[in-house]
Structure 1
Amino acid sequence: MSTLNAMQRGALTLGLFALITAGSVATLRALTAERIDAHQQAYEQRQRQAVLPEALTQQATVSPISLPDADLLGYPDGTTGWQVANDQHRAVVLPAVTRRGYNGDIHLLVSLDEQQRISGVRVTRHQETPGLGDDIERRRSDWITHFDGLRLDSLAAEDWAVRKDGGHFDAFTGATITPRAVVDAVHSALQYAASHAPLETPHKRQAEEPER
């Protein structure tokens, strides 16, 4: 066998191996992507349940709502939020994302009751440093619960910040960027709710309109 033939055969073998490997990776990714997405959706649903007021954790109706100007929450226009209601109580759950995390985006859910008080905040996705920035997770610490019960007017505008920046909220030892980003995102969600009144339903608006 000539040197040229040997090189051609070797190149063909390598090409076939690369093709088979790429095909195997693509197939594996396709098989696992759906499962990963299902797990993520189930996790986000549990987190959505966790942020609701206790009065709405049982026997409540969940209705998706399209959010105008969702770029104010860090998402594309028309992103979905959720209104949760029963006969006595209502709440809205807003998604929010901040691009200012130490290692990338931090996605959150912020739930507000009828008085636009925070009933809960949870992080649904992030890439912050394990053992440091991941204290924003409820399973790691109770830091995220310090927003509970606050309204936009509970604090002065300058107090919606970490203590290092002169604000109200503690940071983590050795990690300021992550809690700073979360505080900013929660503050933005409250500002959005105040300006867009996402708790106002068509039924309520109709009842409040004067007769002509």
Structure 2
Amino acid sequence: MNRATSVVIIAVLAMLGVGATYLVQQVSASRIAAEQRQIDSRNLLDLLPAERYDNQPLEHPLTLNDRVLSNSRLLGGYLATRAGQPSAVLLRSQTIGYVGSIDLLIAIDADGKLVGVKTLRQTETPGLGARIAEWPNAWLMSFAGKSRNEPADWALKQDQGSFDQIAGATITSRAVINALHDALRYFDEHRQQLIGDAPHE
């Protein structure tokens, strides 16, 4: 076998290898993307009990257009349904804590009550405000069942309100409480836009 033939064979083998790699990548890309969506969905939706919805909420985004509220901003949201009826909305909220921004996912049921809250991103002080990111989070879970007007005094106890704070993290705690109340108020004021005419108490 002469040198030219060897070069041609190597070139053909290289092209076959590149083609096979490309083919495998194309075939697996959609499967990898689907698996990543499932992981993202589980990470986001683990605050919403599975029995509350039977759709894929992340595939049903709400149009909120980056709403600036009194103490926070709504970055987006999703609609959860069960048997074709709205069961909850998930609102992505951003507020400013002690160090920087805190991104929350806030689940509110069709009756306007908090189902759950999860921290998606934060830059608070390690060992203090950063505990807001622990999951599950007992402090955040204490807000479940609360609504815009229940309790009437949405504030820290030291501010004559109803809520305890995360130890050593007054500013972080205050920011999260205000963001939750903002989200509940927004839901109440935009219920028709968010869930339509779903029955509620």
The answer to whether TM tops 0.5 is yes
Counterpart residue type for residue 96 of structure 1: S
User: By how many angstroms is 1:50 displaced?
Assistant: 1.8
The answer as to 2:120 corresponding to 1:121 is no
Instruction: Note the alpha carbon deviations across 1:162-181, whole angstroms, 9 max, x for none.
Output: 11111111112222111111
The answer as to 2:157 corresponding to 1:163 is yes
The answer as to 2:195 corresponding to 1:200 is yes
Aligned match of 2:127: 131
The answer as to 2:55 corresponding to 1:60 is yes
Aligned match of 1:103: 99
**C-alpha distance in structure 1 between counterparts of 2:100 and 2:189, whole Å:** 27
**C-alpha distance in structure 1 between counterparts of 2:166 and 2:126, whole Å:** 13
**C-alpha distance in structure 2 between counterparts of 1:110 and 1:121, whole Å:** 5
User: By how many angstroms is 1:191 displaced?
Assistant: 0.7
**C-alpha distance in structure 2 between counterparts of 1:180 and 1:109, whole Å:** 17
Instruction: Note the alpha carbon deviations across 1:75-126, whole angstroms, 9 max, x for none.
Output: 4xxx431001121661100111112x11101110111111011110011010
**C-alpha distance in structure 2 between counterparts of 1:166 and 1:43, whole Å:** 41
- Across the aligned residues of Structure 1 and Structure 2, the Cα RMSD in angstroms comes to 2.5
Contact 1:47 1:124 in 2 (8 A): no
The answer as to 2:73 corresponding to 1:74 is yes
Contact 2:110 2:195 in 1 (8 A): no
| Count of aligned pairs | 157
After superposition, the Cα gap between the structure-2 partners of 1:141 and 1:49, relative to the gap in structure 1 and judged at 3 Å, is closer
**C-alpha distance in structure 2 between counterparts of 1:43 and 1:164, whole Å:** 39
User: By how many angstroms is 1:141 displaced?
Assistant: 4.0
Counterpart residue type for residue 146 of structure 1: S
Instruction: Identify unmatched segments of 5+ residues in structure 2.
Output: 1-35
User: By how many angstroms is 1:155 displaced?
Assistant: 1.1
The answer as to 2:85 corresponding to 1:91 is no
Bigger share in helix:
1
After superposition, the Cα gap between the structure-2 partners of 1:44 and 1:94, relative to the gap in structure 1 and judged at 3 Å, is farther
The answer as to 2:142 corresponding to 1:143 is no
1:172 pairs with one of 151, 166, 169: 166
Contact 1:74 1:98 in 2 (8 A): yes
SS in 2 for 1:83: strand
- Pick which of 59-68 and 189-198 moved more: 59-68
Structure 1 segments (4+ residues) deviating >4 Å:
40-44
Identity %: 36
